[in-house]
Every structure is written in structure tokens, then in C-alpha cells.
Amino acid sequence: MSDETPMINILTYQLPYKLTNQIYNEYQSRLKEATFLIENYKTYNALKPHVNTIELFLSLSIFHKRVITNLDGAVKFYGTVTKKGKTDT
């Protein structure tokens, strides 16, 4: 995957700097942990050939946690506020 753009960079393209920085730092930290586990524990040795897949899942899960979940919460909040606003009038 060295000649391809990392998925984390694609997902964070044009996001605000602060959010991108948080996502990227969490990604680097968790990737380091995953790499350590794969390299040092027999249980996870079978994952060695699938590092690209692990990076993809890791990128998607962090993006979902930091971006999609917050958007979903905002949509639900907006729905609740507008619904409540209509019942009050």
C-alpha cells in the first residue's frame, strides 16, 4: 500500500484541521497497537497478510466514530427540536 494514498487521508480530506488532527492521531495510536499485537502475539499472527484490510477497517471505524456518529446525532437533535417546536405552536 506504499504507492497508494492511505484511506485515512482520503477520509479526512477537506475536514477541519482540528478534527483531522484528532482522527489522524487516534489512527496512528491504534495502528501502532494493532501492529504490536500482530507482531508479538501468536493469536494474531494470522492477520499479518491482511494489514491493508486492518488499516481500512481502522480508518473507517475511526471516521465513523468521529464524523458519522456526530452527524447522526445532529440530525436526530434537529428532528427532535423541530418536532417539539411544531407541537408547541
pTM assigned to the model: 0.81
- CA proximity to 58, closest of 74, 37, 42: 37
Cβ proximity of 50 and 38 under 8 Å? no
- CA proximity to 9, closest of 29, 37, 34, 28: 28
What confidence score (pLDDT) does residue 1 get? 45
Average pLDDT over all residues of the chain: 91
Model confidence pLDDT, tens digit, residues 41-73: 999 999 999 999 999 999 999 999 999 999 999
Q: Enumerate the domain spans of the chain.
A: 7-88
Q: Any residues with CB less than 8 A from the CB of 19 and at least 6 apart, and which?
A: 12, 66, 67
When pLDDT is cut at 50, 70 and 90, the band that residue 4 belongs to is confident
What confidence score (pLDDT) does residue 85 get? 64
Report how far Cα 12 is from the mean position of its chain's Cα atoms.
9
DSSP 4: S
